[in-house]
Structure 1
Amino acid sequence: MTKRWRDWPLRVYLAAFGLILLTPAIALGAIGILYYSNIERARLADTATDLAADVGRQIDRELENLAVVLKTLATSPYLQIGDFAEFHERAQRAVAGTDTHILLVDETMQQLMNTRVPYGTPLPPTSDPESSQYVLDTGRENISDVFEGAVAGEHVFNVEVPVLVDGTVRYVLIGTRSATSLLTQFDRPEVDLGWTLVVSDRRDAIISRSRDPAASVGKPLVDHVAKASTGPAGVHRTVSIDGTEVLRAYRRSPFSGWMVAAYTPLSVLEAPLRQTWWIFLAASCGLILLMVLLATLVARRVALPIDALRSSARALGRGELVSEHVSLLREANEVSRELSQASTDLRRHEQRLQYLMRELAHRTKNMLTLAIAIARQSMSRSTNYREFQESFARRLIALGASLDLLVKSEWRGIDMAELVSVQLMPFAETGGGRLTVDGPPVRLNADATQQIGMALHELATNATKYGALSVPEGRIDISWQRTGDGGLLIVWQERNGPAVNPPTEQGFGRTLIEKAVANTLGAKVDIDFAVDGLYWKIELLPVSIAPDR
């Protein structure tokens, strides 16, 4: 049993075809967005790195400038002579209009002056003795970590330089600034676009932050952030102090040892990418829906001629005439045209078959009548059953040969030359020297084919027994030609046979070739039992001639 595959509607195949066409485009679009996403992430990483480096260089310049100011003040003669009151006034004028304050610390870490307060105000020791001690010990400038100043009452950082008196480091001159104000002077557009700047000291404590600096100053960096920032610079994804996943870039200053970091939430960075993906998905879904809609519409348009073809096929199965259905689908029009032609051909064949059935019934009756006549004549001329059987069988075989030719031609008539060849083949072959056949192409109708075929068989049987074919040198000439009225003249002439004696009695064969053929076909028959060979001639009427195909 042949396996039956599941069938699907046309719209499903059209939709599948559309998906096949759209899939490469959608895949290429997705690959393009992925490629763009990678480029955009690399650009954002470069932006973060550049921002951190740029802000770090600006801070370094600020610190270096403050160090230059401090070094200049450290050479003041008022420090050499210990006139701290005058130096206090001079220092105030030097940093007027800035948020920088000047401190002077001696070897005992005692503040000798502080421009935050009037000169002579009692002052506590410095709040960052470690940094001051480093300057006293090394004689080198230093940038402190963030700490809470006792006088300032807030988190600050110091820039410290040594003060030499008689070639010895006697004091530490300090420029101190509020930690929260460090980044306020940098008007960076990136901050408005969602970036956050963070400056931390060598101990990874936050010095300043561009967003809400007061809430985070002095606090340590998140542990995993600090561990990921051990190198001189880098960029990575991490989680900020408030638990937000961010893209972070950092750079450590070779001058101060501080670290400047720039970060922004990944949600902000990837929002355009997500929007691009949503637009792409929406466009892809829209295209797919449009394709399905178009497939449905096209399927409906194609289904109309297919339904018409189905109706035509059913009508054809019922034997009805099918009219041609014209649509916009060329292939459907061609099939409809063929179905219409097929219905016409089937109707014609059906009519032909009906005609042939009626003709067959008529011919069968005639054949049975003829067979009965042959049987009666053969029986009346036979002396015993064996003789009757042989003569009756031969004549039926001759009749059957003519019928075979008629069946092959669908009872449209038989060519005269073909009829002669079939009937005389058992007796002598044409072209063998004993039998010559000559005549123009002409076709006999069914009745003439049967009668002339039987007559030729009887003539050949008689020639084999008594005439030209009974001796080696005998020969037979068969010829025919059209008559003036459209009939046909057929001549049988035997030569070089034994001397012919006219028969003394009327046998079946003679009755057939003289009377039966003439009566059945309305033909004129002439027979001559000449001494040198039998001569038989028949002139058929035009009605015995089959029309040309």
Structure 2
Amino acid sequence: MWSFRTVLTSALVALQVAALLAILALTYFASQNVLLSYAEQLTQRVADDTTTFTQNFLTPADDAAALSQRLAESPVLGTSDRPALERYFYEILRSRSDFAGIFYGAADGAFLYVSRDRSVEGAEYRIKRVATQPDRSVELIYLTADFRPVSRRRDDADTYDPRTRPWYVKASTTRDVVWTDPYIFFSAQRPGITVAKAVRADERLGMRGAVGIDIEIHALSAFLDGLKIGSRGSAAIVSQSGEVIAHRDPSLVLATDVSGKQRFAQVWEIDDPALAQAVSSLPGGLASVNPGETRLTRFEAGGENWRGAVKRLAGSRTPWAVVTYLPESDILGPIYSIRDIGIAVVAIVVALTALLGVLLARALTRPIGALAAQAERISEGNFADIPLPTMWTKELAGTRQAMRRATSWLRDYRRENETLAERLREAGRVLERRVEERTEELAVANRDLEQANDNAELLAHELDHRVKNLFAITASLVTLAAKHATTPLEVADEARGRINALARAHADTQSARESQLAGIVTSVLRPYAGIAEVQLTIEGDPVTIPSSSVTPLGLILYELATNAAKYGALRGTGGALDVRWTAAGNGGVRMVWTETPAESPAGDVINPSQHSGFGSVMLDAMASRLNANIQRQLTPRGLRVVLTMEALEERGGLRTVAAAEA
């Protein structure tokens, strides 16, 4: 048994710990859920912002498409005044800072390209002229911001042919403005997209060339680099095929193939496993994300959990997806620190509470211990007063005075009762001896009488049950035989046979409360085992049959055996009788009786569609007593009977037989 000091201290500490832990857990988990929800909102918001920026960034491409349309229809492209055309391209570039270059590629391979270029000191623009008539030549002219030449040079080793470029090939197949997939610009070797439009003179002359505008997309990477997504979060723009279009680390966008040419890197090639896991975690991949749809994902990378959001751009021309992702620890880091501080505070509070509990318990347990010692002496019959410490509370002081008065009263009362108690004690001993003797005698007599009554009642009940059943079944057998037989001899024979089967089944139940199913089947079929050349098979699981089910089961088996001897497999030589049963796990048994006679069935055999004969009535009646289902089927090969007993439980009386007789 624990002391009051231990109980008080433990209770105080337990209450403090429970309260603090409950508050800490509630705060921790609530904050965690809120922060994780915030992480999802943050990634989704960044994905939305990035998508909006990307779409706004690509909006000039739509303007460029319209401009390409107007250029294609402009008579400027038909002029032979190349300086005027160059000046026209320059003016467009100067008014649109988001364009990287404007060009025109002719059907004969000639090319005119005005682009931004600061590779030469003092230059802001560059003109690339590719002429094919009379000979092929390539000239590069670098110009200042006000379109004055800085330097020029020839580059006849340049094999650039506009007719092989993606924008030209794609524009030649349609009359609409075309967008190229992101690719690496030939001159600048930087990623971008091109919008172009075929220039056609008329239907007879065919395609004259193509005009286009280049838009660099490296600004997308710069925008992603400026995003704040936690301390370690990141973002990328990925194409539907898995190419990295933009990344907050621009050095990861491009890769080099085996031939040394630059191309867009795949997400699984770059040093960003979190991006690869974010894309891989999408069911169906990036292709399953519909335009404008946002999907949130949770995945594991680098041994920690991450949150991500994938949003597909709404435009159908750019099947790109913005992927934002950040580790959960970036969001949950502060709450982990708060949790650690909370645990430390709990430990300190527990220690202080334990110390306070010990001091308080000590102050309370000293006087209570003294009172307990006095009570212990009183319980032992020692009513002498012992010194008690000063009680510093009103309640304990009152308890001390009450203890003194109770001790004094008990001393006086004990002296008065000792003499009377001795007298009563002697008389009680005599009376107890007499009562014990009489009680024992009556108990023995009552036990003998109860046992005799129980045995008699059990025997009478059993005898009455057995006799009523036997008489009822015998009467039913004789009555049913008389209804269906044609001669007295047939009545006697049929009734005698069934009564004998009943007697054998009854005899099997006299020596035990239960019987084996194999023994019952063998007992019924034993008279037919000696028929020559009859194949008799009896096989099944070990099944114990309750005594109440032995009689109806024996009659069913006897009826089937009698029919087999008259009309079926036991009628002559060459037949086969197969009796098999299986036990189910719920206490049920399924028995299959299969006959294969040597010759085709003849005579009054059991017809599954007619059950008016005595044998059929008997089978149905006994099956009802067993709470079983019996199915009979006469096939060209013989008779097949399936007896399904759901549960071999004892059922009352011969009620079913009497009903069949009626």
TM bin, normalised by shorter chain, reads 0.5 to 0.7
Q: Give the counterpart of 1:215 among 252, 259, 263.
A: 252
* 1:31 to partner: Cα distance: 5.0
Q: Equivalent residue for 1:247?
A: 307
Q: Give the counterpart of 2:392 among 319, 327, 331.
A: 327
State the TM-score, normalized to the length of structure 1.
Answer: 0.53
Change (3 A) 1:323 1:269: closer
Change (3 A) 1:347 1:323: farther
One-letter code aligned to 1:306: I
One-letter code aligned to 2:329: S
The answer to whether the 8 Å contact 1:104/1:114 transfers is no
Change (3 A) 1:151 1:19: closer
Q: Percent identity?
A: 16
Deviations 1:343-382 (A, max 9, x none): 44456668x77xx99xx9xxxxxxxxxxxxxxxxxxxxxx
* 1:273 to partner: Cα distance: 4.2
The answer to whether the 8 Å contact 1:145/1:203 transfers is no
State the TM-score, normalized to the length of structure 2.
Answer: 0.45
Change (3 A) 1:54 1:324: same
Tell me the SS of whatever aligns to 2:176.
coil
Change (3 A) 1:64 1:239: farther
CA radius of gyration, larger in: 1
State the alpha-carbon separation in 2 of the partners of residues 39 and 12 from structure 1: 39
The answer to whether the 8 Å contact 1:200/1:258 transfers is yes
Matched, 1:145 2:181: yes
* 1:42 to partner: Cα distance: 4.1
Change (3 A) 1:23 1:237: closer
Matches within 5 A, 1:406-425: none
Deviations 1:454-511 (A, max 9, x none): xxxxxxxxxxxxxxxxxxxxxxxxxxxxxxxxxxxxxxxxxxxxxxxxxxxxxxxxxx
| Count of residues in Structure 1 that have an aligned counterpart in Structure 2 | 351
The answer to whether the 8 Å contact 1:315/1:322 transfers is no
One-letter code aligned to 2:100: T
Matches within 5 A, 1:144-543: 144-166=180-202, 169-184=207-222, 189-190=227-228, 195-210=233-248, 212-217=249-254, 218-222=264-268, 225=279, 228-230=285-287, 231-232=289-290, 233=293, 234-238=295-299, 246-253=306-313, 254=315, 255-310=317-372, 312-313=374-375, 319-323=384-388, 325-328=390-393, 330=395, 332-345=396-409
Q: Equivalent residue for 1:93?
A: 91
Matches within 5 A, 1:95-110: 95-96=93-94, 97-98=97-98, 100-107=100-107
Tell me the SS of whatever aligns to 2:228.
helix
The answer to whether the 8 Å contact 1:85/1:119 transfers is no
Tell me the SS of whatever aligns to 2:286.
coil
The answer to whether the 8 Å contact 1:197/1:260 transfers is yes
Matches within 5 A, 1:66-77: 66-77=64-75
Change (3 A) 1:205 1:102: same
* 1:95 to partner: Cα distance: 1.4
Change (3 A) 1:22 1:194: closer
* 1:236 to partner: Cα distance: 1.4
State the alpha-carbon separation in 1 of the partners of residues 304 and 99 from structure 2: 33
Change (3 A) 1:229 1:297: farther
Tell me the SS of whatever aligns to 2:166.
helix
Tell me the SS of whatever aligns to 1:63.
helix
State the alpha-carbon separation in 2 of the partners of residues 56 and 305 from structure 1: 82
Alignment gaps of 5+ in structure 2? 118-125, 130-138, 140-154, 255-263, 269-275, 425-662
* 1:219 to partner: Cα distance: 0.7
The answer to whether the 8 Å contact 2:197/2:212 transfers is yes
Change (3 A) 1:207 1:34: closer
Change (3 A) 1:7 1:322: closer
Change (3 A) 1:76 1:300: farther
Q: Give the counterpart of 1:15 among 10, 13, 16.
A: 13
Alignment gaps of 5+ in structure 1? 361-403, 409-549
The answer to whether the 8 Å contact 1:198/1:209 transfers is yes
Question: Mean alpha-carbon deviation: is it higher for 257-266 or for 161-170?
Answer: 161-170
One-letter code aligned to 1:229: L
The answer to whether the 8 Å contact 1:135/1:162 transfers is yes
* 1:137 to partner: Cα distance: 0.6
